[in-house]
Amino acid sequence: MTTRPSNHPASIDPHESGRRFGIRDGLFHAVAQGGGEQYLSAFALLLHATPFQLSLLSAIPQLLGTWAQLISVKISHWFPNRASQVFWGIIGQSVAWIPILTLPLLWPHQGPWLLIAAVAMYFTFSHFTSPAWNSLITDLLEPNERGMYFARRARTIAMTSFLALCLAGALLSFFEQQHLLWVGFAVMFLIASLCRSASALLLLKVSGLPPHEPSSNPAGFLVFFRTMSDNFRRFLLFSGLMHSAVLVAGPFFVLYLLQDLHLTHWQYGTWLAAGIIGQFLTLPAWGQFGDRFGNKALLSFTGLLVAFLPMLYLFGTSWPFLVTVNFFGGVVWAGLGLGLNNYVFDAVQPTDRAKAVAISSVVNAIGWAMGTMVGSVLITMLPARLQVGALILESVSNLPFIFFLSGLLRLIVSATLLRTFHEPRRVEQRAHHRLVWELPLLKPLRQLSRRPTIGNQ
């Protein structure tokens, strides 16, 4: 009697093709993200964008893009299946890189405004795919494996983005020395466009995707919003206000690093890459933590830690210090982003996930826009020198003070709202003071300290 080899087609999970696509799509998107999206603000500075225009570049594309998610859910019945909807959204992203590059260069006097409009179109297509993509992928996964799968995907994105960031930074530095910086951006953005096209081609080869089961309660968004649980509603409030507090500072780091501190493009790229390395090293551990102890516990730790990150920019301007701070920023943001994403999947019924993702994105985008507008107002009001009694604080610009205020707002949001919602899944319970030793970077140190020495064996 012979046994069937484990790689026989009959023994292969029919959903494996879709899972592999999710990882490979993340890889190609990471190139577009690390070598394209991450440098859009730097491209805006090349076009002499003002701080207000940088705020709009951050806020408007996200705000318009998330409304595209609502439309995406509404018109999903126009497509034969979810894969088709994702496919055309990815094609739109690929095509959108062409106006991002060409319009500002053809009409440089209106360059920043044309860039904002073209980037808005890109993120509109990006967000258009999100509800269908998330609904499709989560149907391929068991509830207790989502954390590890999305951590694995995010780790692939992090590593690929890191490599893309480094290569893009080196490319820009080379063309900057040749006084042809725009050529460097052109090469980067065209590669980003080709990578999104590659994702679309990969999707055409996917088989075994589960059919979409429409909701038994096909209510509209307003009805869904009114009937959602108080727990999910309070989570949305936390998520939206956290995004608002973060984006008070978010759009202005590029301004601070490139214009105020005069970092080169390769130094700025390394600063960005440090955050990605932090994500890469800790995402699997964050995924295990969320699967085991719940995404609420994950949010409780990272929501508090993220408050102190921007405050650190008051204490130093040396490049190694800034890179170190952003490394730990990547560690914390890896967990916070994973928790915010996966909590939505756990808190609603599977048939309502597309609506929940869209609603969550709209709430986050509104918070995003509010935060950037507040930050753009503060940048015109706060001085670069503050005096409180005998204490004098002076910086190269007022941006470190704005970063500090952003951290203070994050702390207020976390301290007041984290306690208002709970974990929707049944998970392992453990006191918070014991959970500390399960956190990434700390758990390996604890295991190392407990390892027996040769003399004790």
Q: Which domain holds residue 52?
A: 14-208+224-421
Q: Above pLDDT 70, what percent of the chain?
A: 86
pLDDT at 392: 73
pLDDT at 372: 87
Is the residue at 136 inside a domain? yes
Model confidence pLDDT, tens digit, residues 96-136: 999 998 888 888 888 899 999 999 999 888 888 877 777 77
Residue 316's CB is within 10 A of a number of other CB atoms, namely: 13
pLDDT at 3: 41
Q: What region, left, alpha or beta, does residue 117 occupy, with left being phi > 0 and alpha being psi -120 to 50 degrees?
A: alpha
Is the residue at 450 inside a domain? no
∠ CA 310-311-314 to the nearest 5 degrees? 110
pLDDT at 15 over 80: no
Model confidence pLDDT, tens digit, residues 58-78: 778 777 777 787 788 777 777
Mean pLDDT of all residues in 288-294: 86
Model confidence pLDDT, tens digit, residues 131-145: 777 777 777 777 667
pLDDT at 14: 52
Q: Tally the domains of the chain.
A: 1
pLDDT at 299 over 90: yes
Q: Find all residues with CB under 8 Å of 325, minimum gap 6, and list them.
A: 309, 312, 313
Model confidence pLDDT, tens digit, residues 436-445: 767 776 665 4
Is the residue at 430 inside a domain? no
CATH code: domain of residue 203: 1.20.1250.20
- The most confident of the ranges 105-119, 213-227, 273-287 is 105-119
Alpha-carbon gap, residue 439 to 73, rounded angstroms: 36
pLDDT at 192: 92
What six digits make up the tokens of 270?
Answer: 């390394």
Mean pLDDT of all residues in 203-215: 64
The residue to which tokens 């009697």 are assigned: 1
Q: What is the 3-state secondary structure (H, E, C) of the chain?
A: CCCCCCCCHHHCCCCHHHHHHHHHHHHHHHHHHHHCHHHHHHHHHHCCCCHHHHHHHHHHHHHHHHHHHHHHHHCHHHCCCHHHHHHHHHHHHHHHHHHHHHHHHHCHHHHHHHHHHHHHHHHHHHHHHHHHHHHHHHCCCCHHHHHHHHHHHHHHHHHHHHHHHHHHHHHHHHHHHCCCHHHHHHHHHHHHHHHHHHHHHHHHCCCCCCCCCCCCCCCCHHHHHHHCCHHHHHHHHHHHHHHHHHHCCHHHHHHHHHHHCCCCHHHHHHHHHHHHHHHHHHHHHHHHHHHHHCHHHHHHHHHHHCCCCHHHHHCCCCHHHHHHHHHHHHHHHHHHHHHHHHHHHHHCCHHHHHHHHHHHHHHHHHHHHHHHHHHHHHHHHCCCEEEECCEEEECCCCHHHHHHHHHHHHHHHHHHHHHHCCCCCCCCCCCHHHHHHHCCCHHHHHHHHHCCCHHHC
128 or 80, which is more confident? 128
Mean pLDDT of all residues in 307-316: 92
Is the residue at 190 inside a domain? yes
**To the nearest whole number, what is the mean pLDDT of the chain?**
81
pLDDT at 84 over 90: no
pLDDT at 304 over 90: yes
Is the residue at 110 inside a domain? yes
Q: Residue 9's pLDDT band (boundaries 50, 70, 90)?
A: very low
Model confidence pLDDT, tens digit, residues 410-436: 999 999 999 999 988 887 877 666 777
Is the residue at 447 inside a domain? no
Is the residue at 81 inside a domain? yes
pLDDT at 218 over 80: no
Mean pLDDT of all residues in 44-54: 86
